Amino acid sequence: MSKIVVTGGAGFIGSALVRALLGRQAGEIVVIDNLLSGKEENLAQVREQVQFHRADVCCYETIAPLIAGADTVYHMAAIPSVPRSIEDPVPSHEVNINGAFNVFRAAHETKAARVVYAASSSAYGDSQILPKVETMQPEPKSPYAAQKLLGEYYASVFWSCFGLETVSLRFFNVYGPRQDPSSPYSGVLSLFITALLERRAPVIFGDGEQSRDFTYVDDVAALCIQAAHAGPHVRGRVYNAGNGNRYTLNMVWGLLQKIEGVRIAPTYGPPRPGDVRHSQADITEAVRELGHAPEIGLEEGLRRTLAWYRVTTSA
Ligand code: UD1
């Protein structure tokens, strides 16, 4: 039976990946999560079907035996958020850079077959051309963006220097059920949706005309699995994991109000430091070489996400 490791597997994206893997009966699944932002309840329905280890990717000695001999390691553990990395850069540096290095090193030294690394669209920064293509020069604008980019470079170097198979996927603003809305650093759609359900005004930083390529979590999970199984041509490479569209925050808030049948004017605040203005993925290469095209458009994804928050917040 194959062995699959998911770091950050109790997190929002990691737990969606675990469920997707179980749906494909992929093998023995080992979850590594320190529960800093992950939650065991994210794995509630599947807890008996996975091996859960509360462990920190910053501790090499702890994680190396858990990773040993894996067929695939999905490295999803991270401290996300652009503003958090500006206000408090040390923890995100330690997890996003040193933790990633530890995972690559453990995978290499224990002869794991392939690592799929969760990189970030923030690597593109404010490069003028849209959509963003993988061949563009990265222009990180925040510690978080720089950290995630360095992880990509390590992924590529572990392939070229040590022969560890790696694939990096630049996630574009992932959203969906289980995204934690409880922190000011939470993803904007989790904050918008909770505001909507509580009939509160959301806060929009800046004029709301910045745009994002919001990508539904199940599409990202499916792409990760494709990356693990794609042929030798993907080794050491970087691919966009986006939806291929972009929507301004004003448009998204408008859409949410339409779905819910309410009118609530947002509150506008100052622009956020480190914010990228526009983000949109060119997904040509990812679709062609990894073989998954996104299936969930924004309106459908918002409806699914709203339905989940409505049930969990009323429970
Ligand atoms: C960035 C990355 C994304 C990564 C994420 C990790 C880019 C383009 N995207 O997301 O790939 O997964 O970091 O954290 O760099 N906003 C509001 N009101 C709020 C909260 C946020 O207006 O209450 C705004 C932000 O200023 C920003 C947008 O919404 O313009 C999206 O913010 P957020 O969801 O935090 O993600 P990014 O920083 O874009």
pLDDT tens string 172-216:
999 999 999 999 899 999 999 999 999 999 999 999 999 999 999
Strand positions, DSSP E, 138-229: 165-171, 174-175, 203-205, 211-212, 215-216
Using CA atoms, how far apart are residues 213 and 173, in angstroms rounded to an integer?
6
Centre of ligand 1 from the C-alpha of residue 293, in Å: 23
Q: Tell me: pLDDT of 276 over 90.
A: yes
Centre of ligand 1 from the C-alpha of residue 52, in Å: 30
> 188-210+245-279+302-314, what's its fold?
UDP-galactose 4-epimerase; domain 1 (3.90.25)
Model confidence over 100-134: pLDDT tens digits?
999 999 999 999 999 999 999 999 999 889 999 99
- Which protein residue has the closest C-alpha to ligand 1 atom 3? 173
CATH assignment of 3-174+217-244+281-295? 3.40.50.720
Q: Given pLDDT bands bounded at 50, 70 and 90, which one contains residue 1?
A: confident
Collect all residues with Cβ–Cβ distance below 8 Å to 43 and sequence separation of at least 6.
9, 10, 15, 18, 31, 50, 52
pTM more than 0.85: yes
CB 304 within 8 A of CB 298: no
Model confidence over 53-95: pLDDT tens digits?
999 999 999 999 999 999 999 999 999 999 999 999 999 999 9
Domain layout of the chain by residue ranges: 3-174+217-244+281-295, 188-210+245-279+302-314
What is the arithmetic mean of pLDDT over 130-154? 97
- Which protein residue has the closest C-alpha to ligand 1 atom 36? 187
Torsion angles phi and psi, residue 5, rounded to 5? -115, 135
Q: How confident is the model at residue 315, as a pLDDT?
A: 60
